[in-house]
Amino acid sequence: MVDTDSDYKFNLIIAAMAFFIIGLFFVSFLIGRYSIHPRIVLDIILSNFIDMKQYWKDDLAVVVTQVRLPRIMLGLLVGGALSVSGLSYQTLFKNPMAAPDILGVSAGAGFGAALAMLYNSNWWQIQLSAFVFGMLAVITTCLIASIFAEQAIIVLILAGLVVSSFFQALLSIVKTLAETDTQLPSITFWLMGSLGKGTNSSVLFMLPALGISLATLFVFRHQINALAAGEDVAFTMGVNVSLIKRIIICCSTLMTVSAVSICGIIGWVGLVVPHISRILTGPNYSKTMITSFLVGSGFLLIIDNIIRGVKGVELPLGVLTALVGTPVFILLLSRVKKGWS
């Protein structure tokens, strides 16, 4: 009976969150510098699926489909990706302070993007450079850990700190060499995170990486859940601990680097949201994974809507997530103090 009640509560929470995000998705189209009537927004969206007589101006269609749609989609995808990545790392390292950038992916991606900007590259080249160097940073971290102690989680964490510091030093060199009037402001703004430069192509670029990673983690959700109880316990249950570790690292890295390469460095989402999800649905990874994705998607889209709703200036997304995430995390510290599971 307890399991039935627990499943009913979980399904109710997921259904409520799903309806909330669907409503938030459509409301987000109404927020921005240009005011568009809700009926026009709905008809523009429907016109892509059914034949309709166009009565709206072409520039309104561009705003809805080329500006707001990709930004809204990226808000949902990036928020969900960072949240599930953070949850997976916290489960792997058994550390409530673990975040998606723990293995140096953000530092590597930041250096890659800044390096591309130093050579005045176009936007897709900046994204590609950030993606490549983000992956390179994590691969380097894993290689260092495998040389010294393959099975030691603490060595992997320390290797991540070393690699992160190395790429941050390289980033500082690039910022020193950048032109102060043009390149340096672009680098600085990118490092603070933004969904503003996202396009429909960016969404299509991120979807395969996110879909493959989420599907893989979901398939191995029971093994990951067993790993959360301890490596010895998981081993006695027949779990290939080494394989599951690699799966978590590969999938979490792929999700994080695909998000960071498009939107820059967005902190606190992957750290705070998993804790909120555990409060809602408990420590079971199978359930918390779904909850984390939905909570993270809604959280980041709400933050971006606040940014788009402020007229005159667009605040960096990473700054606002830190301003909101910090007090929320302080409230959650009491739960961590009592014991994280």
Tokens at 306, concatenated: 């606040």
Amino acid at 225: N
- pLDDT tens digits along 82-93: 999 999 999 999
Structure-token pair, residue 314? 């667009």
Phi, psi values for residue 53, rounded to 5°: -80, 125
For residue 1, pLDDT over 60 is answered with: no
Q: Mean pLDDT across the stretch 227-241?
A: 88
131's tokens:
């993606």
Q: How many other CB atoms sit within 10 Å of the CB of residue 36?
A: 17
pLDDT tens digits for range 188-209 = 999 999 998 889 999 999 999 9
Closest CA relative to residue 114, chosen from 229, 191, 10 = 191
Cβ neighbours of residue 326 closer than 8 Å, sequence gap 6 or more: 268
Give pLDDT, residue 336.
56
pLDDT of residue 125: 94
Give per-residue pLDDT as tens, 108-135.
Answer: 999 999 999 999 999 899 999 999 999 9
* Residue 39 in this model has a pLDDT that exceeds 50: yes
- For residue 164, the model assigns a pLDDT of 97
What's this model's pTM, rounded to 2 decimal places?
0.93
Residue 339 pLDDT > 80, yes or no? no
Sequential DSSP letters for 195-243: STT--HHHHHHHHHHHHHHHHHHHHTHHHHHHHHT-HHHHHHTT--HHH
Give residue-wise pLDDT tens across range 10-21.
999 999 999 999
* pLDDT of res. 340: 46
